[in-house]
């Protein structure tokens, strides 16, 4: 019997720590209680997995502390029908069954704080295989055959970077992991580090061996405290077991690890900016070339990959690059993890083979829109990506196909939006982000994004002018051409894609002074429907600016000049008489 409580950041935020403590109180055999990472079913947290004596899994979902006494009884009596009402439904089980998990293979299965759990599941076998009989060239060849490409956003072939770093002259080389997951809406890297830190370590060890690095550095966001703690713990355990340090597994391969906590700058996800930050400087991108493979950290040959990329490496070594490459499309091999969020019924982490469609992920796995809403768009790739409308839902998940829509694969954030999301406001949201996060090095990015933000601001507040759309487009092109780094060059994408697919919404804001999604407050008009109003006067009492007047038991009206559109009248009206236009 094993009882594992999911303890990723999301699980803990949903209350899994309290559930764990309660279970500890009620369970007779306390040694059967353990923790695990994130299974990726965030919409069902807190999740408790019970493996009975026949090793059959009983997955309990949305567990509350008050359920724990009954759970303990069910365990004691080996009678799981007692807790049927909190057992996962058949429909929700499909969320996992429809996935193919490679990078997430151990997430939610093993205890991330115990190295032996990882080893029992085939952990560190890949590095053993590499050190026992593969040359660095063999490793690079295997990765080349696999077709693995960078999962952080750019989709650059991993083998090519490794090969370039390997061929660079110099004794001192560095392998760096970019765990500065800054895209709002993406959290797969955090989940991997929190749930399966050794997978990252093993992938990095193999990479370090391939390029000839003796030091590995993981640059993690400071906003991920739990990931840092679990990774520190994992590094310590791996050192004790002899997987990290001098003469690893008795060979002459030596490699050390250290963690560097980032300090909160989105641009540090760009590899040269990350290197600047590692060196203790302002994180501003460098001019390329020279590429990091030639002159990176302290101007030594360096290779940088993202967490998810490394998480695939050990699997490829053990199962062969060929097997990995059988999954996916001609241009994109293997699987990709997506963080499915927003107005989605079943949100969480989804890993699927490339080549599936957006519709497969959002509707088949994610269950469609929350509260039976209507799908409007999906945002892919964070501030560098774009919004894809319904007509393109059958787009195949593939680096090239997604780029053709104007969005990008990016790190895999997938934010689903329904009809209540205003696309102009969405574009403004991303520009607000880019304006704040622009490092300031390139004029077009620093000032261009600011001017674009101002234009979007005036459009959503009802002061848009004819010609604003064209002006936005012109600024977009200027930034694309005039920015040095990938982040600057892609910053206009949210604006360009929303103009491309939702131009009518921009026009409605500018010409008709109307927000079709009814989200932009300044453009809303509150009125009271005479037929529904019973004259109870509640709205008028609540109105903070005395904009509502009328006679009791007759009907009330709103003075739109005075109205500040706070929405209080609508929230107090019991008859649904307050309408927004």
Partner 1 sequence: MSNCNCPKSDLTLLEDVLGKYKNIPGSLITILQKAQEIYGYLPTDVIYHIAKETNTTPAKVLGVATFYTQFRFKPVGKYLIMLCQGTACHVNGSEMIEKTIKEELGISDGETTDDGLFTLKNVACLGCCSLSPVMMINEETYGSLTPEKVRKILSELKEAE
The residues binding partner 1 (CB under 8 A) are: 9-10, 12-14, 42-43, 45, 181-187, 190, 222-225, 260-261, 263-266, 277-283, 298, 339, 341-343, 347-348, 379, 382, 413, 415, 417, 421, 426, 429-430, 433, 437, 439
Report long-range pairs for 245-249 (Cβ below 8 Å, ≥24 apart): 248/127, 248/131, 248/205, 249/127, 249/128, 249/131
Q: What angle do CA 255, 259, 263 make, to 5 degrees?
A: 150
Closest CA relative to residue 561, chosen from 548, 570, 579: 548
Burial of 157-191, coded b for 16+ CB within 10 Å and e otherwise, reads bbbebbbbbbebeeeebbbbbbbbbbbbbbbbbbb
Our CB check for partner 1 shows the closer of 248 and 426 to be 426
Give the separation between CA 399 and CA 168, rounded to whole angstroms: 28
Is the Cβ of residue 74 or residue 265 nearer to partner 1 in the bound state? Answer: 265
CB atoms within 10 A of CB 563: 17
**Pairwise CA distance, residues 156 & 399, whole Å:** 10
By C-beta, is 75 or 414 nearer to partner 1? 414
Q: Is 278 helix (H, G, I), strand (E, B) or coil?
A: helix
Q: Which of 439, 480, 494, 54 is nearest to 269 (CA)?
A: 439
CB of 143 to partner 1, least distance (A): 28
Q: Which is nearer to partner 1, 222 or 443 (CB)?
A: 222
Q: How far is the CB of 420 from partner 1 (least distance, A)?
A: 9
Taking the least distance from each CB to partner 1, the nearer of 72 and 216 is 216
**Quick one: 75 or 361, whose CB is closer to partner 1?**
361
Query: How far apart are CB 352 and partner 1 at their closest, in Å?
Result: 18
Distance CA 578, CA 571 (A): 9
142 phi, psi to nearest 5 deg = -60, -40
Q: Which two tokens stand for residue 138?
A: 């063999």
Q: How far is the CB of 417 from partner 1 (least distance, A)?
A: 6
**407 and 388 in contact (C-beta within 8 Å)?**
yes
- Min dist. Cβ of residue 382 to partner 1 (A): 7
By beta-carbon proximity to partner 1, the closer residue of 136 and 383 is: 383
To the nearest 10°, the Cα dihedral for 202, 155, 210, 189?
Answer: -20
Minimum gap (Å) between residue 566 Cβ and partner 1? 9
Neighbouring CB atoms inside 10 A of 261's CB total: 16
- CB of 185 vs partner 1, minimal distance in Å: 4
Alpha-helical segments (H) within 78-172: 90-97, 115-120, 125-133, 136-146, 158-167
Looking up tokens 């969005």, which residue turns up?
407
Q: Report the residue number, 45 or 271, with the smaller CB distance to partner 1.
A: 45
SS3 130: helix
Q: How many helices (H) and strands (E) does the chain have?
A: 24, 17
Nearer to partner 1, 317 or 445 (CB): 445
Taking the mean position of all CA atoms in its chain, how far away is CA 579?
Answer: 36
Whichever of 269 and 328 has its CB closer to partner 1, that residue is: 269
């Amino acid at each position: 019997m094993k009882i594992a409580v999911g303890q990723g950041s999301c699980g803990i935020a949903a209350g899994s720590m309290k559930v764990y403590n309660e279970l500890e109180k009620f369970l007779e055999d306390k040694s059967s209680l353990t923790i695990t990472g994130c299974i990726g079913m965030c919409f069902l947290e807190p999740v408790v997995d019970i493996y009975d004596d026949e090793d059959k899994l009983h997955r309990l979902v949305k567990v509350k502390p008050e359920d724990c006494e009954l759970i303990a009884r069910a365990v004691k009596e080996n009678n799981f029908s007692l807790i049927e009402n909190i057992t996962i439904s058949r429909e929700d089980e499909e969320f996992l069954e429809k996935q193919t998990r490679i990078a997430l293979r151990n997430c939610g299965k093993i205890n991330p704080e115990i190295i032996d759990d990882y080893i029992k599941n085939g952990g560190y076998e890949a590095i053993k295989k590499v050190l026992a009989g593969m040359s660095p060239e063999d490793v690079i060849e295997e990765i080349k055959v696999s077709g693995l490409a960078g999962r952080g956003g750019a989709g650059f072939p991993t083998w090519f970077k490794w090969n370039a770093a390997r061929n660079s002259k110099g004794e001192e080389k560095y392998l760096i992991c970019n765990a500065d997951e800054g895209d709002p809406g993406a959290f797969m890297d955090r989940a991997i580090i929190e749930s399966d830190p050794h997978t990252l370590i093993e992938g990095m060890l193999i990479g370090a061996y391939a390029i000839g690095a003796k030091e590995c550095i993981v640059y993690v966001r400071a906003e991920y405290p739990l990931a840092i703690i679990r990774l520190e713990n994992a590094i310590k355990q791996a050192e004790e077991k002899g997987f990290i340090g001098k003469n690893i597994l008795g060979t002459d391969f030596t490699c050390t690890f250290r963690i560097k906590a980032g300090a909160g700058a989105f641009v540090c996800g760009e590899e040269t900016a990350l290197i600047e930050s590692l060196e203790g400087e302002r994180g501003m991108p460098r001019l390329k070339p020279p590429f990091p493979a030639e002159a990176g950290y302290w101007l030594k040959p360096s290779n940088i990959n993202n967490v998810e990329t490394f998480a695939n490496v050990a699997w490829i070594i053990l199962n062969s690059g060929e097997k990995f490459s059988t999954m996916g499309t001609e241009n994109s091999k293997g699987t990709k993890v997506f963080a499915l969020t927003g107005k989605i019924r079943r949100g969480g982490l989804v890993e699927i083979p490339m080549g599936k469609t957006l519709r497969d992920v959002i509707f088949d796995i994610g269950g469609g829109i929350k509260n039976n809403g209507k799908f409007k768009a999906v945002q892919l790739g964070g501030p560098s990506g774009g919004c894809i409308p319904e007509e393109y839902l059958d787009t195949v998940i593939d680096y090239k196909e997604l780029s053709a829509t104007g969005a990008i694969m990016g790190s895999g954030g997938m934010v689903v939006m329904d009809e209540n999301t205003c696309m102009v406001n969405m574009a403004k949201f991303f520009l607000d982000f880019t304006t704040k996060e622009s490092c300031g090095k390139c004029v077009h990015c620093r000032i261009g994004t600011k001017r674009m933000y101002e234009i979007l601001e005036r459009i959503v507040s009802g002061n848009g002018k004819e010609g604003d759309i064209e002006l936005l487009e012109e600024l977009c092109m200027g930034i694309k051409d005039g920015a040095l780094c990938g982040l600057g060059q892609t910053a206009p994408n949210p604006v360009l894609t929303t103009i491309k697919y939702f131009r009518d919404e921009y026009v409605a804001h500018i010409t008709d002074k109307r927000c079709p999604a009814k989200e932009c407050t300044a453009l809303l008009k509150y009125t009271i429907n005479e037929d529904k109003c019973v004259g109870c006067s509640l709205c008028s009492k609540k109105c903070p600016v005395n904009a509502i007047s009328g006679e009791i038991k007759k009907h009330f009206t709103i003075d739109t000049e005075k109205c500040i559109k706070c929405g209080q009248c609508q929230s107090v009206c019991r008859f649904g008489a307050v309408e927004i236009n």
